[in-house]
Amino acid sequence: MRMARYLRLVLLFLLTLLCHLTLQGQTIRVLVLDALNGKPQEGVKVNYFCQYRYRNELPPKSVTTNSEGFADVPYTCGVDAKIEIGVYAPLPKEQCGELGALTYDEISATGIVSNPSADGGIWCPKKISKKLKPVPGQLVIFVKKPTWHQSHIAG
């Protein structure tokens, strides 16, 4: 009886470790595009951190987009965590809308094209985002220069 309980605990530990190691070394491809013309944005700082049930892994880590607008974010969160990703474009551009925390499975299974007119950040048109199809393992985020009203009154 005691041996069976011990074996179950060892098996559970090994399964948890295997799941955690499987997620280690995975990456999420982040593509940053201009919301008005769809052009890739080079030099955008992509911040990310793990969000656990009762705490966040802070301070955020960051990577920078290349000339094609891509940044590879290493997924180092465990199976019970979500990842929070935000972008900081060189001024005067800002992130459109805001993403919530996402699981690796959500991103890797179908991919995500963010909603540029979502709450948070500045509101942006959906003209470009409507034309894009999600790519598994990829997250698309939009930026644009705020309008005069957004930068002086709304923000």
CA distances 45 to 34, 110, 135, Å, are 14, 24, 21
For position 86, what pLDDT does the model report? 94
Residues β-bridged to residue 102: 83
For position 98, what pLDDT does the model report? 86
For position 60, what pLDDT does the model report? 92
For position 33, what pLDDT does the model report? 97
* Domains assigned to the chain: 26-154 (2.60.40.10)
Record the pTM.
0.80
Closest residue by Cα to residue 33 from 147, 103, 132: 132
For position 142, what pLDDT does the model report? 96
CA distance 112 to 13: 32
CA distance 24 to 53: 19
Q: For each successive 10 residues of the chain (155 residues), what is the average pLDDT?
A: 57 46 72 96 96 87 98 92 94 90 94 90 88 96 84 57
